[in-house]
Amino acid sequence: MTQNNNKVVLVVGAGDATGGAIAKRFAREGYIACVTRRSADKLQPLLDEIHAQGGRAYGFASDARKEDEVAALVEDIETNIGPIEAFVFNIGANVPCSILDETARKYFKIWEMACFAGFLTGQAVARRMVTRERGTILFTGATAGLRGAAGFAAFAGAKHGIRALAQSMARELGPRNIHVAHVVVDGAIDTAFIRDSFPERYALKDQDGILDPAHIADSYWFLHAQPRDAWTFELDLRPWMERW
């Protein structure tokens, strides 16, 4: 394991699949993994796994839609743990619904989770990074950020928004030596939800037909490690058999 002193990766939305895998990948490189979910108890298995592998990790209960909680989270990490060198926003909120039945309350909540929270957390971290003139900010996107499918108006609106936010931030912060990138994850991911809810799709795992979270995480590390003379803004990840 490479040691990087007290360099921190902050993963907001460190679930059991992609977010957790990203945290583990950075921890393998010697980064301190600071991970968040709204319920801290759900983070314990991830923290235990990172510690068992010789890494360092801290879990935080935090609602990324709340500006005061985001500010307190970033202040706590920067003051007591280390500088946030890499930030990953990984909140999804993929909830299908017909436009004829969608409620204003649910539409707004999906936007809050998948877009507004990205603004709050991305801004808070960027304000620290610009003082050091370095850093990486990575947003997890989806095909919904490129085209809105029937029945996914709320999710598509939020994901289009987070992609636009990433574009704007990349153009503003790139000249200040902060790498901002957007990752389009297109396809089913190897999770318990896919296994239990879509067994036919999960059966494609043996043919490399669904995304392995560890392989997704490798791409996030690749983006962070890129030399600045060849930065990638947008990276598409999908299984070889996925239609697009």
Q: pTM for the complete prediction?
A: 0.94
Judge whether 16 lies within some domain: yes
6-32: pLDDT as tens digits: 999 999 999 889 999 999 999 999 999
- φ/ψ (deg, to 5) at 9: -110, 130
Judge whether 123 lies within some domain: yes
Q: Which residues form the domain of 101?
A: 8-236
Could you tell me which of 191, 224, 182 has the C-alpha nearest to residue 26?
224
Which DSSP letter does residue 231 get? -
Q: Give the domain CATH number at 57.
A: 3.40.50.720
User: In the structure, how many helices (H) and strands (E) does the chain have?
Assistant: 9, 7
What is the Cα–Cα distance from 11 to 118, expressed in whole angstroms? 12
pLDDT at residue number 191: 87
Looking at per-residue pLDDT, the higher value among 154 and 244 belongs to: 154
Question: Where would I find the H helices in the chain?
Answer: 18-28, 44-52, 67-80, 104-111, 117-132, 153-173, 192-197, 199-202, 213-225
Judge whether 2 lies within some domain: no
Mean pLDDT value across residues 138-144: 95
Judge whether 163 lies within some domain: yes
Mean pLDDT value across residues 91-97: 89
Count: domains in the chain: 1
Judge whether 241 lies within some domain: no
Judge whether 12 lies within some domain: yes
Judge whether 182 lies within some domain: yes
**What percent of the chain has pLDDT above 90?**
86
pLDDT at position 193 over 90: no
Judge whether 87 lies within some domain: yes
Going through the chain in order, the beta strands assigned E by DSSP cover 8-12, 32-37, 56-61, 84-89, 135-142, 178-185, 234-237
What is the Cα–Cα distance from 154 to 144, expressed in whole angstroms? 10
Going through 90-171 in order, the beta strands assigned E by DSSP cover 135-142
Residue 230, class by beta-carbon neighbours within 10 Å (0-12 exposed, 13-18 middle, 19+ buried)?
A: exposed
How many residues does this entry show for the chain?
Answer: 244
